[in-house]
Structure 1
């Protein structure tokens, strides 16, 4: 479980107050009709990581690309360059050309779960996310907001819930932790051709 915290801190660096109370029930099938899940997607991101104990925010930005079900490349460019490559079998992190972390799914089952969740969030694979989370949300004229609440106790130890917003694509996600920390990621300049 310690790797889940490490990955969330390294990979995800905040949004509005929690939306969970304002959402009612909705049909996940409607999300499937509204959202796209391309085989390849690239774009830019900006992140804000709020640390409740210090009442401070850490900002970072960069670019990403993925090939569905194969790999996510997360390249933080500022303030410190860092590359994370996530596959269904491994998670690696690199700074300045030096590998600083490598986790393998065959020796650490949490890698498979993290990869599965992150791939599913980025590619709007709602049926796969239903394995790990309960859903609440609302749809309004091509826009959607969804709150994912963990079903699994191991996941809920790290994440209170995940808030997602978008249109045909995911545009914003927020990981909210039990300790008051949260991470907000916004996606821009999304492209399906690489």
Structure 2
């Protein structure tokens, strides 16, 4: 469980501390859902979300951030495929059964299964972050939210002890789509992920893409 959480935090999250005023606006799940529905009317109908990401990892002992970039694919009910293309080529498939890491982002060989106790819980939290599943997030986080002119920010502070041991708070922001994910780790390191994604129908998936989510 701890190894899985640490790996996810290092691979995907963490960012600069956000303005404190966001966390002065607690929201109930119903209030948060109402804000998101107004900004993203098609949120519940999105089947496939694909796009590019840019990520910066800030470590206290290193003056410059560690940067990476690549592509991602989120498929509702199947999982998330996260393919870093630079500076190194690697990919991770996250499903409800756990995590599978590929030695190459484009090849099926070299799979390393990271399924272990607790990984299903981590997977459900990660899905909820990208899919903006408020009901799932509210089970593990206190919710905070602001909105102005169609641009919203959702703040999360973990109530679950296993999550709180690894990060202090997360922020998701955007307008018609999620545009940025930020996380501040408990130790003070942080990660920033910028997203540029478009919603597509399930029929847009190729056979190779479907295969990424198979056991």
Mark yes or no: TM-score above 0.5: yes
CA distance in 2, matches of 1:100, 1:113: 21
**Structure 2 unmatched ranges of 5 or more:** 205-215
- Which structure has the highest strand share of the two? 1
2:90 to 63, 82, 86: 82
Q: What is the distance in 2 between the residues matched to 1:99 and 1:113? A: 25
Larger radius of gyration: 2
| Matched-pair contact (CA < 8 Å) for 2:47–2:199 | no
Aligned-pair distance for 1:20?
3.8
Aligned to 2:213: none
**Mapped contact 2:14–2:182 kept (Cα < 8 A):** no
- Is residue 95 of structure 1 aligned with residue 103 of structure 2? yes
Q: Look up the match of 1:2.
A: 3
The number of equivalent residue pairs is 190
Q: 1:45 to 1:13 in 2, by over 3 A?
A: farther
Question: Normalized against structure 1, the TM-score is what?
Answer: 0.89
Contact in 2 for aligned 1:146/1:164 (Cα 8 Å): yes
Task: State the 1:72 CA deviation.
Answer: 0.7
Provide the secondary structure at the position in 2 that maps to 1:56. coil
Give the unaligned 5+ runs of structure 1. Answer: none
CA contact (8 A) 1:19 1:163 kept: no
| TM-align CA RMSD | 1.9
Matches within 5 A, 1:1-194: 1-12=2-13, 14-15=15-16, 17-22=17-22, 23-26=24-27, 27-33=31-37, 34-35=39-40, 36-37=43-44, 38-96=46-104, 97=107, 99=110, 101-104=112-115, 108-193=116-201, 194=204
Q: 1:189 to 1:72 in 2, by over 3 A?
A: closer
Shift of 1:100: 6.0
Larger proportion of helix: 2
**TM-score normalized by the length of structure 2:** 0.81
